[in-house]
Each structure stands twice: as structure tokens, then as C-alpha cells.
Structure 1
């Protein structure tokens, strides 16, 4: 049996995209939002006020455009949502418990400046260390040399996320952050890796 997962990322205050995701969520068992709901810490409520009508279990991580504290404050009324950053949770689906681990922010540190919510590879390694084997992994940033090619073709992903996927073999990994690779999916080791993007992508994940 599989879990039908709706994945998205990088809404960047796009309310029309958020409304579309609310409609799609009815078809999902689990919803994963891989960060960047705001633009440079502004307008977080623009999309989250729309998204909070989703009642399916939802797991979110912050992007580099909002902090984990800002995201938690903005989702305090959204009962179906859990915000993760360097931690995990268990989602009850189809009578079984599915482990999910989440790490947000820009990894490695971006060139965007002080406003960007970023972490270096050493910090990321610590935040990823507790990820259980076979979990669903949700990060804002992609693993190095997967779905992380910028518009010039340069790879921008994270070595620590890549190493975690190869070591912990998550059943599925979703990210965002690199806009030019939105909706692209590859396999790293045995793990499907998706850069979701704002339109919403359904993935069937083994239980």
C-alpha cells in the first residue's frame, strides 16, 4: 500500500497557488510544504492564511525566506500542520505510523545576504543526524547534484543532505529552493528526490 503525498515549495506569497493547493489536498493522505512561503520575511500570512484550511496531515519546514519561529507563529491556528526544523514527527496514516524528518533554511549558506535564513554544512549535518532510516525527508534545500541546477546549470545543493540520503535511505525526499529545477525528480541511491515547486506534485510513497 502507498501514501498519496501532495508536495509543494516556494509559494513566495502566491495566493492563487495556495488556493489551488487547498483544492488538491483533498486527494492527498499527507501534505508536505518545503519552505519559502514568504519573501524576505514579508507576507508569510498571504499564503498560510489560505493554506490553513487544509485538514489533511501537513508537515512544513521553513525556507530561507522565513525563520522557523516565524513559520510556527504563522501556523499557530492551523491544527493539521506540524513545523519541523532539525527534528522529526510520526504521522498516523492507514493504521500505521510514518516517520517524517524535516530541516529548513538555505543549505549551504546562500549568496543572498543577511536576510536569508541559512545554515552551513556542519550545522546541517547536526540537524539531519537524528533522521531515522526509511523516513520521509523534507528539506528546503536539495541534495548536492540532484535537483539543484540553477538557471546557469551550476549545482547549488547540499553535501550534508546528499550524505544523509545515501546513509539513511529515506523512502522519499522532497525539497524546493532552486526554482529552475521545480518539478524535477531523480533517484539518489534508492531514494526518489523531488524538487516540488509551487504548483503541487503528487507522489505515491510506499508505506
Structure 2
């Protein structure tokens, strides 16, 4: 199975066109949040991805709420936020969106406290792929100043669940970086065509 994954599109027409072209060869497309900017233009941002024919699984970033993303995506994608799906009867996916921990961006940002994230992740008993907008603490989560701003709740869930793969975004300075937590591979995607063979 060929998986194409990206995050943080932020309504970029150029990046969306590249993703649509790449997705012609994908069996599954995953978007790890921040499709628009500051809760504006979500319908237009998702319309940029209309050429994708493969099944899509999306999680909300801090730039859109889960409700807004579900409404904009309609039946074009499965939107996960504190829940999971089984894809083609063989791949367990669980998703958690939003900024974790709370961001400094103000009222428009969709955020969760570590405690809220821990509660929502508690429902995940097993996953092959964990999709989060925010990275786990200590892995692919450094700002340009070298500050680690990832989530302790997400890291604890990874250590408990032990998924094979974690896909995230959110921290732009760590785009396309990867690391490991135990045997779990963690990738901060960015708005690029990141390929995975499953």
C-alpha cells in the first residue's frame, strides 16, 4: 500500500497542486492538519485538493476546528479527532488534531491542554498509524530557537500504544524531520509529498 501524507498546507495553491499530482499514485492520503489559515478559507483550501481521488483521512490542525473540517470535507474524507478507523480491514488509524499544548496564537487557535489530549487519547487502545497535528515532546518538535514544544500527552500515548508510525506537523521549523520513540517512527511532514510503503 502506498501512503501519501502531508501537513500544514495553509491554503498554498502551489503545494496543493503538487500533492494532487503526486496523489495519482497513492492508495491512501493523510492530511495532518492546518489546511487553511487562522480559521479562514477552509472550503477554498480543501477545494485545492479536489483532484485527489484516493481515500483521504484528515485531522484538524489548530487553524480549523474538527466541526469546521468535517463540514468542509463532507463525504470526501474521514475526519479523525479523538477517534479512529480501520482502513480496508487491515490498517488501524487513530487521529488527534489541534495544537497540544496550548499555543500562544490567541482565540482563533484550536488547542487542547495536555490533560484534554490525554483524555481523548485514552480511547486509543491500538493503532498502526497515529496521526496527530502536534508532535510528541522531544521528537521533531523544535522551534528555530531550539525549544522543544511538543506534547507530553502524545508522547505518553505513543509509549503506551507503540504504533509503527506517527505522522504529525504543526512545528514548521521541524518539517520533514523524523525520529524514534522506541520502535515507533515519528515524522513531521510539512506540505510536501511524503511517501510511505505499508
1:62-81 equivalences in 2 (<5 Å): 62-78=60-76, 81=77
Runs of 4+ in 1 over 4 A off after TM superposition: none
Give 1:89's aligned residue: 85
- Return the match for 1:120 from 108, 113, 117: 113
- 2:168, 2:189 within 8 Å by CA — same for their partners in 1? yes
2:111 aligned counterpart, secondary structure: coil
How much has 1:77 moved relative to structure 2?
4.8
Q: Give per-residue Cα distances to partners, 1:115-134, cap 9 Å, x unaligned.
A: 11000011001111122324
8 Å contact kept, 1:6–1:25: yes
Instruction: Verify the 8 A CA contact 1:57 1:91 in the aligned structure 2.
Output: no
Unaligned runs of 5+ in 2: none
Distance in 2, matches of 1:185 and 1:57, equals 25
What are the within-5 Å matches in structure 2 for residues 161-172 of structure 1?
161-172=154-165
Equivalence for 1:49: 47
Aligned position for 1:196: 189
Q: Could you state the TM-score of these two structures normalised by the residue count of structure 2?
A: 0.96
Distance 1:77 1:52 in 2: 12
Give distance in 1, aligned partners of 2:193 and 2:169: 11
Q: What is the TM-score normalised by the length of structure 1?
A: 0.92
Q: In the TM superposition, what are the counterparts of 1:1-40 in structure 2 within 5 Å?
A: 3-40=1-38
Partner residue of 1:98 out of 91, 97, 106: 91
Deviation string 1:147-175 (CA, Å, 9 cap, x unpaired) is: 00001010010001001111100111100
**Residues matched between the structures, number:** 198
RMSD of aligned residue pairs (Cα, Å): 1.1
Q: Deviations over 1:18-46 (max 9, x none)?
A: 11111111222211100001111011123
- 5+ residue gaps, structure 1, are none
